[in-house]
Amino acid sequence: MIRKRIGAEEMKRMKMRKKLYALFCMLGIFVFCGALIAKGSDTQDNIKTLRIGYCQSRPYGFYAQELLDIAREMAGAGLLSKDILTKYEGVNFEERFEKDDIITLWNDVCDANIPGSRYQFVKDVFFDMSMVPEEDYGSMVNRDDVDMTITMGTAPGVYFVENEKDNLFINLYAADPIASGIVKSDTERYTDNSYATVDLTPYLRQLDVGYKFLNFKKLGMVYENSETAIMISAVKEVEQKAEEYGFEVVRRYVTEPVSDDEYDRYYSELKQAYRELADEGIDCLYITLASIDYEEKMQELLDDAIIPAGIKTLAQDDFEPLAYGALFGVTISDAAQTAGHVFKQLEKYTVEGVPFNELDMVCEITPRIGLNMTTANRIGFQPGFKNLQMVDRIYRNDR
Domains and CATH numbers, the chain: 50-199+335-358 (3.40.50.2300), 202-331+368-395 (3.40.50.2300)
The pLDDT assigned to 318 comes to 85
pLDDT at residue 333, rounded to an integer: 85
Can you tell me the distance from the alpha carbon of 105 to that of 84, in angstroms, rounded to the nearest whole number?
9
Render each residue's pLDDT in the chain as its tens digit; 399 residues: 434 444 444 444 545 554 444 444 454 444 444 443 333 434 445 789 999 999 999 998 999 999 999 999 999 999 999 999 999 999 999 878 888 999 999 999 999 999 999 999 999 999 999 999 999 999 999 999 999 999 999 999 999 999 999 999 999 999 889 989 999 999 999 999 999 999 989 999 999 999 999 999 999 999 999 998 998 899 999 999 999 999 999 999 999 998 889 999 999 999 999 999 999 999 999 999 899 999 899 999 999 999 999 999 999 998 889 999 999 999 988 999 999 999 999 999 999 999 999 999 999 888 899 999 999 999 999 999 999 999 999 999 754
Cα distance between residue 305 and residue 276, in whole Å: 9
Residue 347: exposure state from Cβ atoms within 10 A (0-12, 13-18, ≥19): middle
Buried b (16+ CB within 10 A) or exposed e, 353-378: eeebeebebebbbebbbbbbbbbbeb
Extract the runs of DSSP E, i.e. beta strands, from the chain: 50-56, 119-128, 148-152, 168-172, 194-196, 218-223, 248-253, 284-287, 312-315, 328-330, 369-372, 393-395
Using DSSP, state whether 256 is helix, strand or coil.
coil
Instruction: Supply the pLDDT for residue 95.
Output: 78
312 forms beta bridges with: 284
pLDDT (0 to 100) of residue 175: 80
Q: 3-class DSSP state for residue 181?
A: coil
**Confidence at residue 6, expressed as pLDDT on a 0 to 100 scale:** 40
